[in-house]
Amino acid sequence: WRVEADELADDYLDSAFHSIFGDPIKNEENWEVKKLSYVADVVSGVTKGRKLQNKETLFAPYLRVANVQDGYLDLDEIKEIEVLTTDVEKYKLFEGDIVLTEGGDPDKLGRGAVWHNEVPNCIHQNHIFRVRLKNDDLNPTYLSKLIGSLYGKLYFLKSAKQTTGIASINSTQLKKFPVIIPPIELQNQFADIVQQVESLKNYQSQSKQEIDNLFNTLMQKAFKGELVC
């Protein structure tokens, strides 16, 4: 039931996203579009295998490509890496950061999720980009979903450097990503739906029918403006 429930939840979130924002490829509301670099700081992570002799170091948990999935984080195994003490502050992840993989297989382009301080003092490796919003005009949950949508995937596939079976993007290409900026109230509404759906997904003991009923009730309330946050 859990797999079916998760698939159902993902379907609901896709439906909610398009119901609230429409098709971002068309942007029929003509919402403002800005390059990602104007609305967020984009930083690559720490490089493995550097020579650190005779320097002050420590071991820190770090996020690897395997930890960053499409729309969620797989944190079952978090490894540690030896880094300079100054690297921890430089690469430390904060609440609301978006983490994105640079690629590999074409389906990994733009793959990412929002960080919620799941692992204290965690940093990220150089094959993962950290996107940190500069102001409150954007909700990270909305932006993460936009980047991971068909709209985002088409941009990355068009922009990526591709060799045999491998596709990757660099920070320059990522910084040029065209961010559609709807009213923040709509972004927050979507983020509230995501939060509540994620809470429902945690009820592993629920039957498929029970989860179906709960989701239907939630979505009806959301689109009537009755969602309680």
Sorting pLDDT into bands at 50, 70 and 90, what band is 216? confident
Q: How far apart are CA 208 and CA 6, in angstroms?
A: 10
CA distances from 169 to 45, 124, 142, 147 (A): 14, 17, 21, 13
Categorise residue 65: left if φ over 0, alpha if ψ from -120 to 50, beta otherwise.
alpha
Query: 10 Å Cβ neighbour count for 182?
Result: 21
Render pLDDT for 67-84 as a digit per residue (tens, 0 to 9).
Answer: 999 889 999 999 999 999
Spatial separation of the C-alpha atoms in residues 12 and 221, rounded to whole Å: 13
* Average pLDDT of the segment spanning 173-194: 96
For the stretch 21-70, pLDDT in tens is: 999 999 999 999 999 999 999 999 998 877 877 888 999 999 999 999 98
Q: What is the DSSP string of 124-156?
A: EBTTEEEEEESSTTS-HHHHHHHHHSHHHHHHH
CB atoms within 10 A of CB 220: 11
DSSP summary character for residue 207: -
151-171: per-residue pLDDT in tens? 998 998 888 777 656 778 889
